[in-house]
Chains A and B, each alone.
Chain A
């Protein structure tokens, strides 16, 4: 036995190999740390560029003011962000009103009622539909949905840029995500739970509504939150179909502007760095970031509390 080695044991000798191993571990860790750097980068960028803004505009005026006109001239310039927050939540609400029932319906059907063959064909299709670029939905909203369906078929008196079109199409956009994720959640519920319920004489719909649904609740909520996050942050559909006017109103026939749409629109007109208009991009971006962050924290908490663990 060579000196230095214990019988039956592994000696930790500092070889060239182990140094190399440490180096590799370091490199890999560095890659993972990039994610932290990204978050830091986002937060730092948003906060740092927002500071000069709040030196000029009072925080109260920003968060509680109801007139958003940052690019107006002279006296009319105003920085109340409420219309943007309102339109964001309002249009997301309209979208979810469409996406949740229909999306869950599709999810339930695929998970509980569809035959395996139908499921095998439809599921990839749903997943592909979840990946259609949002600009396609924007195109559809402006060139078909508003003129042909809203104005033509339903005869509604809407402006060419209106919140109703944008909201509904937003729902269609988010629908496949809700369907897909909720279907995954329900499929994960063990068959034994269903069989138990059937054994007790429950009808199929009772099994689905009273057993599967509650069992998959955390996953379904995750699906809804995912859909809501996507809708809140959606930019292009709103930009193309809902126009440029922030409007603090329930009226869906007129234009609306969400936070994300405002950011993209302002950046598009390529405002000069350092101007207060440029700063609004960051301030509104920060508000949007905090909003989606909050929604996600709430969802994670909810999911963790109600998650059912199966063997």
Chain B
């Protein structure tokens, strides 16, 4: 009797599941076609992608668009952070590593130790954006890299923005930034703070989740931080995107300034790293090719800047020939 009753429950659950599966699974057709090869319909397999949370929107947008042309390829995308992504990549747990900075020497060594040869494919360009709570009125809505350094250097004790000088608001500081597992963090600390992945910890809330950073900044008076351009743009009605003065005047992060590199030093490449072996797998190759061929649309959907023709050519070349990346210089 006991068996009978539980079987009934199981059957009911399965019926519900089958019913839902049978009815569903069809998204709307998106307008504006994407280029596809004739044989992508027959591709199958599963691709595990993990790594940079900055690049994650690109991978997710691409996987959605790609699914229309290759419905049998299952793609999972994680966003553990560039550093953690490389760890898993070099252990062979994932197929593609998303990265918002180039692979570093010690990561490269770990990969080689496991016989894994990373292939560097640039898929887009990001303009790392400094964002602030709407309450902060900076002069010209601009901040210099010098001042960023003053605020976020490892031992910084600046407690109020007015300590930066004339014109700065009288407001206690509060920061929301990515954490040490993030490529964004690595890039910022290197390019702006000029330290070896070290940043202030006092009054700084870190999060691996860019959305949490944005939520924190939009909801806290006097908050300041930095995120990938896509996240800043997506929420530009809720917070201020500051222009950055890297020595050549205040430049606002926009598609044009990021693409041509004038938004410095915070323009940076976005990478996807397959291995020499996985780049040869048809579904992986097709997926990354898809991103390159539809680069404009993918990056627009994700909120980033598409590659220039020159960069696209290099990337396509790397992918086609599956050239392993050169060993990065040890620091």
Contact A269 B218 (CB under 8 A): no
B216 at interface by CB-CB < 8 Å:
yes
> How long is the Cα–Cα vector from A72 to B154 in the complex, in angstroms?
10
> Which of B78, B198, B219 lies in contact with A74, CB distance below 8 A?
B198
* Contacts A73-B199, A271-B84 given; does A243 touch B205 at CB 8 Å: yes
A202 at interface by CB-CB < 8 Å:
no
A69 at interface by CB-CB < 8 Å:
yes
Task: Write the nearest CB–CB distance from B5 to chain A, whole angstroms.
Answer: 20
Within 8 A of B (CB), among A125-157: 142, 146-147, 157
B317 at interface by CB-CB < 8 Å:
no
**A residues less than 8 Å from B216 (CB atoms):** 159-161, 243
* Contacts A74-B197, A76-B198 given; does A269 touch B219 at CB 8 Å: no
Contact A255 B205 (CB under 8 A): yes
> How long is the Cα–Cα vector from A157 to B172 in the complex, in angstroms?
13
Within 8 A of B (CB), among A251-294: 255, 265, 268-272, 275
Q: Which residue of chain A has its CB nearest to the CB of B180?
A: A71
Give the dominant DSSP class at B's interface.
loop
Task: Write the nearest CB–CB distance from A88 to chain B, whole angstroms.
Answer: 18
B201 at interface by CB-CB < 8 Å:
yes
Task: Write the nearest CB–CB distance from A165 to chain B, whole angstroms.
Answer: 11
> Which of B78, B87, B195, B201 lies in contact with A272, CB distance below 8 A?
B87
- A interface residue count range (under 10 / 10 to 19 / 20 to 34 / 35 or more): 20 to 34
A55 at interface by CB-CB < 8 Å:
no
Task: Write the nearest CB–CB distance from B153 to chain A, whole angstroms.
Answer: 11
Contact A270 B78 (CB under 8 A): yes
**B residues less than 8 Å from A159 (CB atoms):** 174, 216, 219-220
A75 at interface by CB-CB < 8 Å:
yes
* Contacts A71-B180, A160-B219 given; does A268 touch B196 at CB 8 Å: no
Contact A244 B198 (CB under 8 A): no
* Contacts A243-B205, A270-B80 given; does A76 touch B181 at CB 8 Å: no
Contact B201 A69 (CB under 8 A): yes
Task: Write the nearest CB–CB distance from B272 to chain A, whole angstroms.
Answer: 18
Query: Interface centre among A243, A271, A272, by most B CB within 10 Å?
Result: A272
Contact A268 B208 (CB under 8 A): yes
Contact B201 A76 (CB under 8 A): yes
Contact B180 A244 (CB under 8 A): no
* Contacts A244-B207, A269-B84, A272-B87 given; does A72 touch B180 at CB 8 Å: yes
**A residues less than 8 Å from B209 (CB atoms):** 268
B215 at interface by CB-CB < 8 Å:
yes
**A residues less than 8 Å from B303 (CB atoms):** none
Contact A76 B154 (CB under 8 A): yes
A245 at interface by CB-CB < 8 Å:
yes
> How long is the Cα–Cα vector from A72 to B195 in the complex, in angstroms?
13
> How long is the Cα–Cα vector from A147 to B81 in the complex, in angstroms?
30
Contact B84 A272 (CB under 8 A): yes
Contact A271 B218 (CB under 8 A): no
Q: Which residue of chain B has its CB nearest to the CB of A246?
A: B205
Task: Write the nearest CB–CB distance from A155 to chain B, whole angstroms.
Answer: 13
* Contacts A69-B201, A74-B196 given; does A269 touch B88 at CB 8 Å: no
Q: Which residue of chain B has its CB nearest to the CB of A269?
A: B208
**A residues less than 8 Å from B179 (CB atoms):** 71, 269
Query: Interface centre among B84, B174, B189, B205, by most A CB within 10 Å?
Result: B205
Q: Which residue of chain B has its CB nearest to the CB of A147?
A: B219
Contact A160 B154 (CB under 8 A): no
> How long is the Cα–Cα vector from A76 to B195 in the complex, in angstroms?
13
> Which of B84, B180, B207, B221 lies in contact with A270, CB distance below 8 A?
B84
**B residues less than 8 Å from A275 (CB atoms):** 87
Query: Interface centre among A245, A269, A271, by most B CB within 10 Å?
Result: A269
Q: Which residue of chain A has its CB nearest to the CB of B215?
A: A160
Q: Which residue of chain B has its CB nearest to the CB of A142?
A: B215
B212 at interface by CB-CB < 8 Å:
yes
Q: Which residue of chain A has its CB nearest to the CB of B81?
A: A269
Q: Which residue of chain A has its CB nearest to the CB of B212?
A: A244
> How long is the Cα–Cα vector from A22 to B201 in the complex, in angstroms?
63
> Which of A72, A142, A146, A265 lies in contact with B201, CB distance below 8 A?
A72
> How long is the Cα–Cα vector from A142 to B181 in the complex, in angstroms?
25
**B residues less than 8 Å from A271 (CB atoms):** 80, 84, 181
Contact with A along B156-195 (1 / 0, CB 8 A): 0000000000000000001000011100000001000001
Within 8 A of A (CB), among B72-91: 78, 80-81, 84, 87-88
B144 at interface by CB-CB < 8 Å:
no
> How long is the Cα–Cα vector from A160 to B209 in the complex, in angstroms?
15
B145 at interface by CB-CB < 8 Å:
no
Task: Write the nearest CB–CB distance from A256 to chain B, whole angstroms.
Answer: 11
**B residues less than 8 Å from A73 (CB atoms):** 180, 189, 195-199
Task: Write the nearest CB–CB distance from B213 to chain A, whole angstroms.
Answer: 10
* Contacts A76-B198, A160-B220, A269-B179 given; does A244 touch B80 at CB 8 Å: no
B257 at interface by CB-CB < 8 Å:
no
**B residues less than 8 Å from A76 (CB atoms):** 154, 198, 201
B323 at interface by CB-CB < 8 Å:
no
Q: Which residue of chain A has its CB nearest to the CB of B179?
A: A71
Contact with A along B36-80 (1 / 0, CB 8 A): 000000000000001000000000000000000000000000101
Instruction: Enumerate 18 A-B pairs (CB-CB under 8 Å) in ascending A order.
Output: A71-B180, A71-B206, A72-B198, A73-B180, A73-B196, A73-B197, A76-B201, A147-B219, A159-B216, A159-B219, A161-B219, A161-B220, A245-B204, A245-B206, A269-B80, A270-B50, A270-B78, A270-B81
7 shortest A-B CB distances, which residue pairs?
A160-B219, A270-B80, A269-B208, A272-B87, A245-B205, A73-B197, A73-B198
- Taking A160-B215, A160-B220, A272-B88 as given, write out 11 further A-B residue pairs in contact, using a Cβ cutoff of 8 Å, ordered by the A residue number: A71-B180, A71-B206, A74-B196, A75-B154, A159-B220, A161-B216, A243-B216, A244-B207, A269-B80, A270-B50, A271-B181
